[in-house]
Structure 1
Amino acid sequence: MSDKGFYTYKGFLDAARSFDGFGTTGDDAIRKREIAAFLAQTSYETRASEAIGADLLTNPDLGATDATISFKTAIWFWMTPQGNKPSSHDVIIGKWTPSAEGIEAGRV
């Protein structure tokens, strides 16, 4: 399948509107930084079936055939803390503060 025309601006906006605060928190510089950083990391693997309201277990091709679902999986990963790391969203908008252990380990 060719990706030509799959990743549309409309698909991105439709998906972004599903996550309160994504690309809309802070001043222009923070909002631009969040979206730029998000787009830079979209190649990471995500798991988002229940969180995004799509049955990807039964129909995994939705992530490759539905632009909104594809963007939703990536935005879910961006907005959701993973294990012992904060969400990228929280880091970018200044909501996350490193712990003393994190500072000691250089995670600031």
Structure 2
Amino acid sequence: MPDTPAPVPPQDATGSATQPFVVSEAQFDQMFPSRNSFYTYAGLVDALKAYPEFASTGGEEVAKREAAAFLANVDHETLNLQYVTEINTALYGNYCDPAQPYGCPAGNDAYFGRGPIQLSWNFNYKTAGDALGIDLLHHPELVETDASVAWQTGIWYWMTQPGEGEFTGHEAIVDEHGFAEAIRAINGPLECDGGNPRQVQSRVDRFVAFCDILETTPGHHLSC
């Protein structure tokens, strides 16, 4: 008999899943046992409405792989979801680009790294806020006070920003370019191509571990 294909989540007319997140709360707790209480599972699930195609396309195996890839990079950026804001407060005044026509209305030191992907710079707060329908340019503090908003900014970056790579994190996984290209989208030459192989390996190790928890496969081309 031929192998039975993996079940595909129920989908709506756009091809997006209509069932709950592919990561259960128990699995989320297993991934992040010592996380900051700010990073709630409920906040993450609520944030999925911003990009319903996240971790829901390509069949169950790929959907779980994308969730593992996103959460592995989040794990690395926040030290296992322990940090909500950037640790080095001395850098807080460095993220205002005065060349932007809208300036830094919340203050020159208001756009430091926050949330699961450590959103920083006034132009990123503006772009993310515009995409999500939230005024983050004037209220960047929402990324550290509202768990859903915080998760939404992380998913926004993953779904829309290729960084210095060719693909977004979403494209890297769903189009099977490999986890390596997801790393490149987040930290590019700072880590890839010999930039910092230890950091790359840290991300890969977490990704493989999370794939195991979700009972999916990591695919190919893991390290950049």
CA deviations 1:5-43 (Å, max 9, x no partner) are: x21111111111210310100122111110111112223
Q: Distance in 2 between matches of 1:24 and 1:7?
A: 21
> What corresponds to 1:54 in structure 2?
134
| TM-score, with length taken from structure 2 | 0.39
From 44, 49, 54, give the equivalent of 1:12: 44
Please list, as runs of the form range in 1=range in 2, the aligned pairs for 1:69-80 lying within 5 A after superposition. 69-80=149-160
Q: Is residue 148 of structure 2 the alignment partner of residue 68 of structure 1?
A: yes
Q: How well do the aligned residues superpose, as a CA RMSD in angstroms?
A: 2.2
Higher relative contact order (CA 8 A, sep 6+): 1
What percent identity do the matched residue pairs reach? Answer: 40
Q: Which runs of 5+ in 1 are unaligned?
A: 97-105
Largest Rg, 1 or 2: 2
Q: Which runs of 5+ in 2 are unaligned?
A: 1-35, 78-116, 178-192, 194-220
Find runs of 4+ consecutive structure 1 residues off by over 6 angstroms. Answer: none
Please list, as runs of the form range in 1=range in 2, the aligned pairs for 1:1-108 lying within 5 A after superposition. 3-4=36-37, 6-42=38-74, 43=77, 44-46=117-119, 47=124, 48-82=128-162, 84-94=165-175
Q: Distance in 1 between matches of 2:176 and 2:160?
A: 13
Q: Distance in 1 between matches of 2:132 and 2:71?
A: 18
| TM-score, with length taken from structure 1 | 0.76
Which one-letter code corresponds to 1:11 in the other structure? G
